[in-house]
Chains A and B, each alone.
Chain A
Amino acid sequence: MIARTFLTDDRRSAIFLGLLAIAAVVVPFCHLVFPPSSLLHIGTSSVALWGKYLSFAILALSLDLIWGYAGILSLGHGAFFALGGYAMGMYLMRQIGSRGVYANPLLPDFMVFLNWKELPWYWWGFDIFPFAALMVVLAPGILAFVFGWFAFRSRVTGVYLSIITQMLTYALWLSFFRNDMGFGGNNGLTDFKDILGFPVQAPATRAALFSITAMTLMLCYIVARYVVASKLGKVLVAIRDAESRTRFLGYRVDAYKTFLFTLSAAMAGIAGALYVPQVGIINPSEFHPAQSIEVVLWVAVGGRGTLVGAALGAILVNFAKTTFTSGILAPYWLFVLGALFVLVTRFLPNGIVGTFFDVAADTRSARRPAHAGSTSASGRLREAESEAPLK
Chain B
Amino acid sequence: MRRLATLLWLLAVLLAAPATAAKLDEALARLLDDSYGETAIAAGEIATSGDANASAILEALADNRLQFSAAQKLVAITGKEGKLANAATGAVVTAPPADLTPVRQNNRVRGAVQEALGAMTLLSPDPAKRLDAAQSIFKSQDATKLSQVEAALDGEKDPRVSLALEAARAVILLGKADAPQTARLAAVVTLKQRGDQSAIAALRNVPADAPAALRDAANRAVADIEKGLAVWRIGQNVWYGLSLGSVLLLAAIGLAITFGVMGVINMAHGEMVMLGAYTTFVVQEVIRNAAPGLFDYSLAMAIPLAFLVAGAIGMAIERTVIRFLYGRPLDTLLATWGVSLILQQAVRTWFGPTNREVGAPNFMSGAFKIGELVITWNRLWIIVFAGLIFIGLLMALKYTALGLHMRAVTQNRRMASSMGIPTARVDALTFGLGSGIAGLAGVALSQIDNVSPNLGQGYIVDSFLVVVFGGVGNLWGTLVGALSLGLANKLLEPFAGAVLGKIILLIAVIMFIQKRPRGMFALKGRAVET
Q: From residue A153, how far is it (CB to closest CB) to chain B in Å? A: 8
Interface presence of A154 (CB below 8 A): yes
* A389 CA to B525 CA, complexed, in Å: 8
Chain A interface SS verdict (over half): helix
Q: Which residues of A contact B341 (CB under 8 A)?
A: 334-335, 337-338, 341
Question: Contact at B339–A389, with CB atoms within 8 Å?
Answer: no
Question: Contact at B345–A338, with CB atoms within 8 Å?
Answer: yes
A160-193, CB under 8 A of B: which get 1 and which 0? 1011101110110011011000000000000000
Interface presence of B340 (CB below 8 A): yes
Most buried by A among B331, B333, B345, B523: B333
Q: Which residues of B contact A297 (CB under 8 A)?
A: 334, 338
Chain A, 125-174, CB within 8 A of any chain B CB: 147, 150-151, 153-160, 162-164, 166-168, 170-171, 174
- Across the two chains, which residue of chain B brings its CB closest to A331? B349
Q: Which residues of A contact B329 (CB under 8 A)?
A: 158-159, 386, 391
* A175 CA to B506 CA, complexed, in Å: 11
Question: Contact at B335–A345, with CB atoms within 8 Å?
Answer: yes
Question: Contact at A389–B338, with CB atoms within 8 Å?
Answer: no
B387-407, CB under 8 A of A: which get 1 and which 0? 000000000000000000000
* A153 CA to B511 CA, complexed, in Å: 12
Q: Which residues of A contact B368 (CB under 8 A)?
A: none
Question: Contact at A171–B327, with CB atoms within 8 Å?
Answer: no
Question: Contact at A150–B514, with CB atoms within 8 Å?
Answer: yes
Q: From residue A320, how far is it (CB to closest CB) to chain B in Å? A: 14
* A164 CA to B507 CA, complexed, in Å: 9
Interface presence of B513 (CB below 8 A): yes
* Contact A154/B464 with A341-B335, A342-B321, A388-B527 known, Cβ cut-off 8 Å: no
* A244 CA to B464 CA, complexed, in Å: 26
Q: Which residues of A contact B324 (CB under 8 A)?
A: 346
* Contact A341/B334 with A154-B515, A178-B500, A390-B263 known, Cβ cut-off 8 Å: yes
Chain B interface SS verdict (over half): helix
The one of B335, B345, B502, B515 in contact with A335, judged by C-beta atoms closer than 8 angstroms, is B345
Q: Which residues of A contact B415 (CB under 8 A)?
A: 389
Q: From residue B51, how far is it (CB to closest CB) to chain A in Å? A: 64
Question: Contact at A163–B340, with CB atoms within 8 Å?
Answer: no
Q: Which residues of B contact A108 (CB under 8 A)?
A: none
Interface presence of A373 (CB below 8 A): no
* Contact A167/B525 with A160-B468, A339-B342 known, Cβ cut-off 8 Å: no
- The count of residues in chain A whose C-beta lies closer than 8 Å to any C-beta of chain B is 55
* A204 CA to B331 CA, complexed, in Å: 43
Interface presence of B413 (CB below 8 A): yes
Interface presence of A49 (CB below 8 A): no
Interface presence of A300 (CB below 8 A): yes
Question: Contact at A345–B342, with CB atoms within 8 Å?
Answer: no
* A345 CA to B337 CA, complexed, in Å: 11
Interface presence of A48 (CB below 8 A): no
Question: Contact at A335–B413, with CB atoms within 8 Å?
Answer: no
Question: Contact at B513–A164, with CB atoms within 8 Å?
Answer: yes
A285-315, CB under 8 A of B: which get 1 and which 0? 0000110010011001000000000000000
Question: Contact at A387–B413, with CB atoms within 8 Å?
Answer: yes
Question: Contact at A338–B527, with CB atoms within 8 Å?
Answer: no
The one of A153, A332, A339, A386 in contact with B338, judged by C-beta atoms closer than 8 angstroms, is A339
Question: Contact at B338–A154, with CB atoms within 8 Å?
Answer: no
The one of A160, A166, A387 in contact with B518, judged by C-beta atoms closer than 8 angstroms, is A160
* Contact A160/B517 with A244-B529, A297-B334, A345-B331 known, Cβ cut-off 8 Å: yes
* Contact A383/B514 with A175-B503, A334-B341, A390-B523 known, Cβ cut-off 8 Å: no
Q: Which residues of B contact A281 (CB under 8 A)?
A: none
Q: From residue A38, how far is it (CB to closest CB) to chain B in Å? A: 41
* Contact A345/B325 with A154-B514, A296-B334, A334-B342 known, Cβ cut-off 8 Å: yes
Chain B, 340-372, CB within 8 A of any chain A CB: 340-346, 348-349
Q: From residue A299, how far is it (CB to closest CB) to chain B in Å? A: 10
The one of A156, A335, A389 in contact with B342, judged by C-beta atoms closer than 8 angstroms, is A335
B234-276, CB under 8 A of A: which get 1 and which 0? 0000000000000000000000000100010101000000000
- Across the two chains, which residue of chain A brings its CB closest to B473? A390
Interface presence of A73 (CB below 8 A): yes
Question: Contact at A338–B340, with CB atoms within 8 Å?
Answer: yes
Q: From residue A341, how far is it (CB to closest CB) to chain B in Å? A: 2
Can you list 24 contacts pairing A with B, beta carbon distance less than 8 Å?
A151-B513, A159-B259, A159-B265, A159-B333, A160-B513, A163-B265, A163-B464, A163-B468, A164-B468, A164-B510, A168-B506, A171-B502, A171-B506, A174-B502, A244-B528, A293-B267, A297-B338, A334-B342, A335-B341, A335-B346, A338-B337, A346-B321, A386-B263, A390-B529
Query: Which 4 residue pairs across A and B have the least CB separation, nearest first?
Result: A341-B338, A338-B341, A338-B342, A334-B345
Instruction: State the A residues within 8 Å of B (CB).
Output: 73, 75, 147, 150-151, 153-160, 162-164, 166-168, 170-171, 174-175, 177-178, 244, 289-290, 293, 296-297, 300, 331-332, 334-335, 337-342, 344-346, 349, 382-383, 385-391
